[in-house]
Amino acid sequence: MSDPATRVAVVSGGATGIGRAVAEALAARGFAVAVGGRREGRVQEAAKALEAGGARALGLPLDVSETDSVEAFYAAVEKSLGPADLVVNCAGHARPGKLFEKPPEEIRAEIETGLLGTLLFSRRGIAALLERQLPGDAVFVSSTSAVTPWPWLATYAATKAGVEQAARSVALECEGTGVRCLVVRVGNTVGTEWAVEWDAQAAPAYEAWQRLGLIRHAGLLQPEQVALAVLRAVEAPRGVQFDHVSVNPEAPGDGGSA
């Protein structure tokens, strides 16, 4: 197993939600961590919090849908922390709404961040690993909506389905190189910033999801629980390939009654 203290991780969308939790979990294990996001103040705050915990950390502005931004991010990471051998794709965005009612620019923004951005961010990180002939991991955070019809989130679901298919294909392209590709498919999770920003207009979406059984119980994952799954998978010894992990919330108990 690789020594975490020698590993460098890059996390897109690392300032909030699942990305922030993943960055914190990796830092606690000794990884050097670079977090990227569009809001520079947020990523700087996240990096300072990681440093306060004793980690080597870096916070950088990052728009995963822009190749120049992706290149600048990786160049800064390599200069400050060294080559990244763990690439974690957490950047994403969604707003609930029926496809035929959503503004075209909103559809485009979700696709550019969730699918195009994931491909561009992964491409740069994996290419650097292969060029240096280094082993490493690329993690693609997905959603149950990738495989289950999820009305009011059609665009988001499409990006996640695309991400999973891309990850499976890239895994075959990297076979035998020492670069492992992992999909972490996540169930209903609380604490993602873009979900927090949903307003009262999302109420019909929640009603539809409950009616269709997509929200079967009141259990919700915490970002830290998702991060634990990521951490355990990427710390698997070399020679072991986790290519898919599903993480779902457990149903709340009834107090132990028989």
Q: What is the pLDDT of residue 256?
A: 46
Sheet with strand 57-61: strands edge to edge: 57-61, 32-37, 8-12, 86-89, 136-143, 179-186, 244-247
CA nearest 19: which of 74, 72, 93? Answer: 93
Separation between Cα atoms, residue 135 and residue 237, nearest integer Å: 11
Q: What is the pLDDT of residue 139?
A: 98
Count of domains for the chain: 1
Q: What is the pLDDT of residue 202?
A: 77
Q: What is the pLDDT of residue 25?
A: 97
Separation between Cα atoms, residue 36 and residue 170, nearest integer Å: 23
Q: What is the pLDDT of residue 86?
A: 98
Q: What is the pLDDT of residue 235?
A: 93
CATH, residue 215 = 3.40.50.720
Q: What is the pLDDT of residue 257?
A: 43
Indicate whether 133 belongs to any domain: yes
Could you say which residues of the chain have pLDDT below 70? 1-2, 191-201, 254-258
Residue 206 annotated among the catalytic residues of the structure = no
Tally the residues of the chain. Answer: 258
The one catalytic residue among 122, 143, 145, 160: 160
Q: What is the pLDDT of residue 204?
A: 81
Angle separating helix axes 17-28 and 40-52, nearest 10 degrees = 30
Indicate whether 88 belongs to any domain: yes
Indicate whether 258 belongs to any domain: no
Residue 256 phi/psi, 5-degree rounding, is 90, 10
Residue 142 annotated among the catalytic residues of the structure = yes
Indicate whether 230 belongs to any domain: yes
Residue 74 annotated among the catalytic residues of the structure = no
Separation between Cα atoms, residue 211 and residue 182, nearest integer Å: 32
Judge whether 105 and 154 are in contact, CB under 8 Å: no
The one catalytic residue among 69, 142, 143, 145: 142
The one catalytic residue among 12, 122, 143, 156: 156
CA nearest 9: which of 120, 63, 126, 88? Answer: 88
Gyration radius of the chain's alpha carbons: 18
* Contacts of residue 165, Cβ cutoff 8 Å, sequence gap at least 6: none
Q: Which residue range forms the structural domain that includes residue 191?
A: 4-247
Indicate whether 255 belongs to any domain: no
Q: What is the pLDDT of residue 191?
A: 64
